[in-house]
């Protein structure tokens, strides 16, 4: 059973190896000519004004919280989905109740305006 994961380990190693090689290769092969201007972060013409703490829209936080809510519900749906045919009516009713509850939460979030992008 666990042995069927062995190729996965090979893929993990190949992926990590490729990633590490691609990241490091330029330090070996590329030239090295540092300068003051080159080390500035990109800006188009103006002096770049980068502070350590950015401020950005609250919508991003909201979306992240909603994601956690709904993604966990999706994960709960998968185990039932696999066995729905075998489990019969009981599982079906449970699934419907679950999805309807999820939908009520969704409508509530929508009505409160959490899905409006500001």
Partner 1 sequence: MTALPLASVSFVESTGVQIVKAIVIFAFVLVVVPLILLLERKLLGRFQARLGPNRVGPFGLLQPLADVLKLLSKERFTPRTAVPWMMAMAPAISIFTAVVTLAIIPFGDVRHNALFGASYGLYGIDVSIGILWAFAFGALAFYGLMLGGWASGSKYSFLGAMRSAAQLISYEVSLGLSLVGVVITAGSLSLTEIVNSQDHIWYVVPQFVGFCIFMVAAFAETNRPPFDLPEADAEIVAGYNTEFGGMRFGSFFMAEYINMVAIAGIATAMFLGGWHGPGPGWLDPIWVIVKMLLFVVLFIWIRATLPRLRYDQLMAFGWKVLLPLATLNALVTAIVVSA
Measure the CA–CA gap between 111 and 40, rounded to whole angstroms.
45
Q: Report how far residue 85's alpha carbon sits from residue 55's, in angstroms, rounded to the nearest whole number.
A: 50
Q: Does 64 bind partner 1 (CB under 8 A)?
A: yes
Q: List, as own/partner pairs, every contact residues 95-103 make where C-beta atoms lie below 8 angstroms and the sequence separation is at least 24, other chains included.
A: 98/73, 102/70, 102/73
Is 101 near partner 1 (CB under 8 A)? Answer: no
Q: Which residues bind partner 1 (CB under 8 A)?
A: 1, 3-8, 10-12, 14-16, 18-20, 22-27, 29-34, 38-44, 48, 50, 54, 56, 59-60, 63-64, 66-67, 70-71, 74-75, 77-78, 81-86, 88-89, 91-92, 95-96, 99, 102-103, 106, 110, 115, 117
């Amino acid at each position: 059973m666990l042995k069927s994961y062995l190729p996965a380990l090979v893929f993990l190693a190949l992926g990590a190896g490729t990633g590490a090689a691609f990241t490091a290769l330029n330090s070996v092969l590329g030239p090295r000519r540092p300068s003051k201007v080159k080390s500035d972060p990109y800006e188009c013409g103006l002096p770049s004004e980068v502070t350590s703490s950015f401020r950005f829209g609250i919508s991003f936080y909201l979306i992240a919280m909603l994601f956690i809510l709904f993604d966990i519900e999706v994960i709960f749906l998968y185990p039932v989905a696999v066995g729905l045919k075998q489990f019969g009516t009981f599982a079906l009713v449970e699934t419907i109740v679950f999805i309807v509850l999820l939908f009520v939460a969704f409508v509530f979030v929508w009505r409160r305006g959490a899905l409006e992008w500001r």
